[in-house]
Amino acid sequence: MSDKELWPEGVQRCSLKLFIAWLAVIFAVLAWGVYAAYVVWSGGLIVTGMDNYFAFGLYIIFDLAVIALGAGAFFSGLLYYLIRVEGLKNIINLAVIIGFICYSGALLILTLEVGQPLRAWFGFWHPNVHSMLTEVIFCITVYMLVLTIEFIPIILENRKLNKIKFLHHMAHNFHVIMPLFAGVGAFLSFFHQGSLGGMYGVLFSRPYAFREGFFIWPWTFFLFILSAVASGPGFTMLVATLMEKMTGRKLVDFSVKALMGKISGTMLAIYLVFKYLDTWAWATGILPRSGLTFSEVFYGVAYGKWLLFSELIVCGLFPAILLLNAKTRNTPWILYSACTLVGIGVIINRYVQTAQTLAHPVMPFDRWYVYMPTWAEWAPSLAIIAYGALILSLAYRYLPVFPQERKLNQA
């Protein structure tokens, strides 16, 4: 038994047996996540580590992190379709698929996060135009639709499907209008990445997160956009590399990877300039005005200064230098390590913005609490990773994701 006719033309894939065994592993993790979802829906959020102090927890941190890492989709799309950076042609399909996974995954997690999931549509029906969250709800949903539209032509290019004339034409026509969707996607992404940052920046009574405004936006709005576009392309490249390691085949040329690294490094450098300014303005302006000192907003290991140091230096300045320098960037292991650090940096940022903001006692007689996620939060998060692995595995096996694969693997 083989499914060879479904593979893209001229490529090699593992045996169907091995593939099914791999899928079984994925489904096991997925099943655990689905069970956790059932427990959360039937028992309520009491099964999570959230409480009256920690209104947001791992669900939100995970969502913010995957949405930042999924930014490779919109940013690569913007660079390829609108600015015409040709090299990205060879990785754009993967970027779109990762974006699709990250956004749909985040939306799935969000259904667990809200206390009244059946009312989630109220966000569209009774929107509060002043709320950053309203902007997030609208933009993420619409962008999810755009990503789906961008994913469809890739699916239609499956060898079997593409033989059907109608689908063939449809795929072609989708391709023609893709720059339009890339533009719409970039616009939407810009706003919701920003609004996610704005969500924290407007908390004027939480000095850890509060930032001053630039027009109607707090400047965390722009910091979130910049940090997302700095980490997204690197993450896309890392996923391609991971897939290469797992399949034992070359999928994208190293020059493309280095290009992604260069994009990440450049955006990271721009981001860091603003992030350093922001940190300085926050420490010398916002904190003392709220009656707080720099040291006071850190606590223990869970909320220690080491996080800030790691975010700004180890996962910021250090990889930025490595990625901007052509010599280090063109050394594979350094490129991969640097992009991994950038990804970790953005995750730390989303963690502190969420957990530390809420943990920090604003009232002088209040105290710090440490947030610990429970299995009911880890399981759905891992399940989303498994869900991503599932989509990527199916896409890699049956869809022409990597245009260079055939050429790169010719003996």
Partner 1 sequence: MVLYLKEFKIKWGMVIDLDRCTGCGACMVACQAENNIAPPVDASNKRYSLTWLLVYQLSNKQPYPNHDVAYMPRPCLQCGKPNCVPVCPVIATDKNQEGGIVSQVNARCIGCRYCMAACPYHARYFNWHDPVWPEGMEKTLTPDVSTRPRGVVEKCLFCHHRYMAARDKARIEDRDPNALAEGDYIPACVEMCPTGAMVFGDLENPEHKVHKLSKSPYAFRLLERLNTKPQVYYYSKREWVRKQGDNYLEHETVGGV
Which residues of the shown chain bind partner 1 in the complex (CB under 8 A)?
A: 44-46, 50-53, 55-56, 113-116, 119-120, 122-123, 125-128, 130-134, 137, 198-199, 202-207, 213, 216-218, 288-293, 357-358, 362-366, 369
Closest approach of partner 1 to the CB of residue 231, in Å: 24
Q: Around Cβ 267, how many Cβ atoms within 10 Å?
A: 25
Q: Could you tell me whether strands 217-218 and 213-214 are parallel, antiparallel, or unpaired per DSSP bridges?
A: antiparallel
Element (H, E) at 213: strand 213-214
Residue number, 127 or 403, with CB nearest to partner 1: 127
DSSP letter at 218 equals E
User: The tokens of 86 are what?
Assistant: 């040709």
Closest approach of partner 1 to the CB of residue 284, in Å: 13
Residue number, 119 or 407, with CB nearest to partner 1: 119
Residue number, 218 or 345, with CB nearest to partner 1: 218
Residue number, 45 or 348, with CB nearest to partner 1: 45
Residue number, 369 or 375, with CB nearest to partner 1: 369
Closest approach of partner 1 to the CB of residue 135, in Å: 9
Closest approach of partner 1 to the CB of residue 110, in Å: 9
Residue number, 49 or 179, with CB nearest to partner 1: 49
Closest approach of partner 1 to the CB of residue 114, in Å: 5
Q: Around Cβ 377, how many Cβ atoms within 10 Å?
A: 25
Provide the CB-side half-sphere exposure for 278 (13 A, CA): 24
Residue number, 203 or 223, with CB nearest to partner 1: 203
Amino acid at 192: H
Closest approach of partner 1 to the CB of residue 122, in Å: 4
Any residues with CB less than 8 A from the CB of 181 and at least 6 apart, and which? Answer: 77, 146, 149, 150
Alpha-helical runs (H) found in 206-324: 220-247, 254-281, 287-289, 305-309, 318-324
Closest approach of partner 1 to the CB of residue 249, in Å: 44
Any residues with CB less than 8 A from the CB of 248 and at least 6 apart, and which? Answer: none
Residue number, 3 or 366, with CB nearest to partner 1: 366
Closest approach of partner 1 to the CB of residue 121, in Å: 9
- Between CA 322 and CA 327 the distance in angstroms is 8
Provide the CB-side half-sphere exposure for 381 (13 A, CA): 18
Any residues with CB less than 8 A from the CB of 406 and at least 6 apart, and which? Answer: 9, 10, 11
Pick from 116, 21, 36, 54: nearest CA to 370: 54
Q: Around Cβ 307, how many Cβ atoms within 10 Å?
A: 18
Distance of CA 403 to the CA centre of its chain: 24
Closest approach of partner 1 to the CB of residue 322, in Å: 36
Look at the block and give the residue holding tokens 């997302």: 228
Q: Around Cβ 139, how many Cβ atoms within 10 Å?
A: 20
Residue number, 127 or 183, with CB nearest to partner 1: 127
